[in-house]
Structure 1
């Protein structure tokens, strides 16, 4: 217990020292370029309407972060006492990242149960402008299941000064495919964004830009592990790249492979990671087929959960919308993911035992056999109850 508090005390002392260093540097720059800045900062108007409100906000969010750490204290203690000092540090860092996501983005995970508690799996996700969502997912996954996502990163990220050790600490690596297969066979979780930097830089309206990449599918087939599709709602509203000069930056990237493009963001929009059901393969599955199935799963997750075109304002407002949406969709067939088995309106009903049943009402929907009944809202305050038919071929809606 004392070791935990000593480490926390040391960490905050270190952060205070770093903050003090940068504040002194900022003050020296202001003194040189703006000699009268102190008179402006210390004016009654600035103190009353800017500085004091900001201090209150910082205090509130610091208190919320400390509360979040307190709620995770048992996981942190477990890391220190049952494992090692490094394990405790890892739990603490994960709790802080989890707290940041919870406070700043109201971060949630839907479908965490689809990631296995043990055994290898390949996590395939859509790459936002900055994969901040994967940091939050990794942190929460480590706290809840004590599992780490070994993320495949572009080599340039591991060359950023001061961050290489941090990314390696969380198992990030640049490849190659043999290393991916080795980790999957060892029972590790590996995450990859097939679109990579190109998808991060040039995806428009959440388009999936994978090109002809098949390496992830070949690795999954070789290691005989499932692929789990993941998409984070509003990830491109949190961070995005400037559209000015997009064509110029794209030509520059294609020739040099240098990821240079102005970025903006950090907006406190609602982020929700949706984890689809595992996609299994068999020895007869080809890489092309597995790529197509996985791509379709990602695209359907985007279609189902993402508002397009995106809106920073509406994504922010989602944080205050407590209304729960109900999706009346077909249940997945055995052997398919929930996303890849979603049928659009007008799909054929070949071999469907219910296709010849009477459908006299326009409010008759086809649902899976697990559905029994649900109360739904039609408009305003009126509501109705959907009751499953005895033959299992749909349900009838009756207004209350």
Structure 2
């Protein structure tokens, strides 16, 4: 969430920055400024009334001590008026503050200066590419056919149990899935990230804290009876560990990692591009989260990008890194890098990770601060990244490592799987 004072003092800058997202912010920015002015004016008026009421109460006490009950009684009538006025102003302040908060929730984060202009994914900028795209043998198959051929993933059985988008992993497919999770966690903890096991459902406050709520696209599963949400990513519960927390400067940075299943409705998704593992309602992902001082957050983002590169290099998958344009970035992000693996059998790139810096946007919602050596509190910067999302990584492995004899397991995963080929 953008800070009200920043919006008020930098109206044109905010409008211009959000135009890079193709977002016409002027009406909403002006609404925020007007509501903030009304809120501040009401607060001053309320403080004045309360101050005068307190002074009057002291005067009444002095008059009662002096035995001047008649004068005290007259003043008591005024205190009743002050109480009514303060109640009215308090209610107005609550209403205006809530309206201001709801208006602020509608404003996305301002993009960093290096975010490129653009409206569509086609306008994202490729900043890095690694690995040779393998030439597959004649008769090579896409991963959903390989899954059936080797009986490692059953999409139809998932439909029977739940519905489309909920696959069942079997035998060596399940073991390969578990191997990837453990490998990613091990690499993350070796890099200094502390592992957490977190709940897979969160309350409304957590959803608002990291920016998944208000959920305009209806992509979160909502458990109505208990008013809880199935998590779309481990970013939500892990980052909310630090909601309403003040971290000492000496304890920064904070590095976290965690594995969770992720749940996304993916409403409106259909077509050939979502076949197999390409688009799921439930999938596994290992996440990394960092809390940084503002001056350290962009070097930290670069470090996260390099970390994900290491994972993909060790897996031997061809990949590229994209800097997302303003029109393709997530609501909460100031800068995002996407990683895509090339699926040889599908002849297309598949997104497998997003690494983002949110600057103070989430921290302002979370009231996540750090205390400097002088005892002053400041909003921290939050960052997160997929390290990694499993479905499309698995799709890339199955398709790029297929041979006429079977699917070869990447060497780095063999200590985790206990086998070197699926046949």
The alignment's TM-score, normalised by the length of structure 2, stands at 0.26
Structure having greater relative contact order (Cα 8 Å, sep ≥ 6): 2
Structure showing the higher strand proportion among its residues: 2
